[in-house]
């Protein structure tokens, strides 16, 4: 009994420490960046080579890069996970694919950036553009989507599949109408993790997509964009006016954090609504 109480007390201390660290990070960011946060800073165009104005192009560019990466990575990630889980769960090819996925998940993001620069920027001729950055981030997010989707599909009871096929459904009908709906909430978790990952990446878009200063919005896939993570890096490392650029970097960090939280909350709310819908349908 005493050991159990000590263990619970120890766990509570760890949880409190983690909460304190997270709160401290958020609080420090707000403290350093709150002074520059304003409607003009968030929703206006930059002026005078980032000495005045706001970061609207960086916000739009971040949304664009995340959207491109998820739209491209999700179909490939789902297809790979379905193949590995439902069609060929054993064998040399499956082991090779899984090893490749685990290896990719451990590769530093700067390597993905170098790969994107060599393939998409130079070989394919896309140049420094949103599509080059989006494709690079899509490759970066593939291991997360595949691994999380594999776990989600594996968690669906085998009895669901057997019951569906016993009623005359084909394998694809079983996957489409039984397995995937059951795994959807967990798959949405994979999407949330991917969004959080690619939203804050700097190295992959450093060589492939971003510029420091863009005085107008650009929605072209083949034009360079501003992005919040790169913008923070550029303000700190290349800013010529420390008294102006460093506070702007802190403010941009607060906006980036808020953006990641917003995207994650949106996906989580949709996931919970989907779970309630599935329960009602059942």
User: Is residue 87 classed exposed, middle or buried when 0-12, 13-18 and 19+ CB atoms within 10 A define those classes?
Assistant: exposed
Residue 239: is its pLDDT beyond 90?
no
Q: CA-CA distance, 225 to 128, in Å (whole number)?
A: 9
Sorting pLDDT into bands at 50, 70 and 90, what band is 278? low
The predicted pLDDT at position 89 comes to 67
The predicted pLDDT at position 30 comes to 86
Strand partners, 53: 46
The predicted pLDDT at position 274 comes to 67
Q: Give pLDDT tens digits for 197-235.
A: 888 888 899 889 988 888 888 778 899 999 999 988 888
CA dihedral of 187, 190, 191, 194, whole degrees rounded to 10: -160
DSSP letter assigned to residue 221: T
How many residues appear in the chain? Answer: 282
Residue 66: is its pLDDT beyond 80?
yes
The predicted pLDDT at position 105 comes to 81
- Evaluate whether 144 touches 76 at the Cβ level (below 8 Å): no
Residue 279: is its pLDDT beyond 70?
no
The predicted pLDDT at position 211 comes to 86
Chain-centre distance for alpha carbon 277 = 25
Q: Which of the residue ranges 93-97, 252-256, 265-269 has the most confident prediction, judged by mean pLDDT? A: 252-256
The predicted pLDDT at position 130 comes to 92
What pTM was computed for the model? 0.85
Q: Which of 60-69, 83-92, 186-195, 267-276 has the lowest mean pLDDT?
A: 267-276
Residue range 60-84: mean pLDDT, rounded: 91
- Evaluate whether 140 touches 204 at the Cβ level (below 8 Å): yes
The predicted pLDDT at position 259 comes to 83
User: What are the chain's domains?
Assistant: 46-281 (1.10.3720.10)
Sorting pLDDT into bands at 50, 70 and 90, what band is 282? low
What whole-number percentage of the chain has pLDDT above 70? Answer: 95
């Amino acid at each position: 009994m005493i050991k159990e109480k000590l263990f619970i007390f120890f766990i509570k201390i760890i949880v409190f420490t983690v909460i304190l660290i997270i709160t401290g990070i958020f609080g420090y960011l707000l403290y350093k960046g709150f002074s520059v946060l304003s409607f003009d800073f968030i929703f206006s165009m930059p002026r005078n080579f980032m000495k005045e104005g706001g970061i609207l192009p960086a916000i739009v560019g971040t949304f664009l890069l995340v959207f491109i990466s998820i739209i491209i990575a999700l179909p490939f990630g789902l297809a790979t996970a379905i193949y590995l889980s439902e069609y060929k769960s054993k064998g040399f090819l499956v082991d090779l694919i899984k090893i490749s996925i685990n290896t990719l998940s451990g590769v530093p993001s700067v390597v993905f950036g170098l790969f994107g620069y060599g393939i998409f920027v130079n070989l394919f001729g896309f140049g420094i553009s949103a599509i080059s950055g989006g494709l690079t981030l899509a490759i970066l997010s593939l291991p997360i989507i595949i691994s999380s989707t594999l776990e989600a599909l594996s968690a669906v009871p085998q009895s669901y599949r057997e019951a569906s096929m016993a009623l005359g459904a084909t394998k694809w009908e079983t996957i489409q109408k039984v397995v995937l709906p059951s795994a959807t909430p967990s798959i949405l978790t994979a999407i949330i993790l991917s969004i959080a990952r690619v939203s804050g990446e700097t190295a992959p878009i450093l060589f492939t997509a971003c510029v420091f200063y863009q005085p107008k919005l650009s929605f072209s896939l083949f034009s360079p964009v501003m992005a919040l993570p790169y913008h923070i890096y550029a303000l700190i490392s290349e800013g010529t006016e420390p008294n102006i650029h460093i506070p702007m970097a802190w403010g941009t960090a607060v906006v980036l954090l808020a953006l990641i939280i917003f995207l994650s909350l949106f996906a989580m709310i949709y996931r919970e609504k989907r779970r309630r819908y599935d329960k009602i349908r059942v």
